Amino acid sequence: MNGADVIDTLAGLAPGSPLAAIRDRKPVTRDQAQASYRALFEPAETGDVTLQERFAVATFIAGLHAQDEAAAFYTAGLARTGPADALVGALSAEIANGRTTGPYGAYPKGPLTEEDVPGLLYTATNRAVLGPRLGAALEHVHMLVFHPRDATPPALQRLLDAGWSNAGIVTLSQLVAFLAFQIRAAAGLRVLAAMGTAP
């Protein structure tokens, strides 16, 4: 993996372009966003979450966001981990099953209940291929992508029961939360870049 800035890559910003120059004015934001990517996808130690699990989850997340550049980028990352064809196929099927629109979800009962929005409660169907860890992870990740205000302690217990450790759950949570940022930052910059310089 080369060291190309991933947000620039996903946003389609060439070095020296007007928006790349604006990003260059805040080198800490740029460098630390890239360091965040590396911490999750080029970790010094994989700890409790394998590289293939990281890219499989990222492929699912990018697919749910329906952002072509991010989907291609993380699918290519998954391919580098040598996944079984069945896994790649299962993830495509899960993305198709999981696509919906967010944010939705429920608030603690009270004055905000009138703002509750119902939505898809996704379950992974290809569990035989995904295995218990990845199957549980995709269900949790789907909630975090589309309806994070529905999170509860039992959701984390399901991950623990499927073999995730406390540290592994922290890494998984950071991974989906970080991608929610990275994919949005890149998508926003892509829109802005396409409009050209302000009149």
Partner 1 sequence: MTETVITHPENHEPTEFTLAMLDWLPWLEPPAEAALTERQRVSLVDNARSKSSYFRLLARDPDILEARTRTDKDIFYNTASGLPRAERELAAAATSRTNGCIYCASVHARHAITYSKRSDDIQRLLATGVTADLGERWNAIVAASVALAATPIAFGPEHVTRLRAAGLDDADIVDVINGAAFFNWANRLMLSLGEPAQTVGIASKT
Instruction: Report the nearest approach of partner 1 to the CB of residue 131 (Å).
Output: 19
The binder of partner 1 chosen from 65, 74, 134, 136 (CB under 8 A): 65
Q: Please, which residue, 78 or 186, has the CB nearer to partner 1?
A: 186
Q: Please, which residue, 67 or 126, has the CB nearer to partner 1?
A: 67
Q: Please, which residue, 57 or 129, has the CB nearer to partner 1?
A: 57
Sign of CA dihedral 145, 147, 153, 158: negative
The binder of partner 1 chosen from 6, 8, 10, 40 (CB under 8 A): 40
8 A C-beta contact, residue 187 and residue 67: yes
- Residues 103, 147: Cα–Cα separation, whole Å: 5
Given the structure tokens 């996944």, which residue do they identify?
A: 83
Which amino acid makes up residue 44?
A
Of the ranges 58-66, 73-81, 86-94, 120-128, which one interacts with partner 1 (CB under 8 A)?
Answer: 58-66
- Residues 60, 142: Cα–Cα separation, whole Å: 9
Which residues ranging from 108 to 127 are in contact with partner 1 (CB under 8 A)? 108-112, 115
Q: What does each C-alpha distance from 155 to 139, 144, 146, 162, 163 come to in angstroms?
A: 9, 11, 15, 11, 13
Which residues ranging from 156 to 185 are in contact with partner 1 (CB under 8 A)? 156-157, 160, 165-167, 169-171, 173-174, 176-178, 180-185
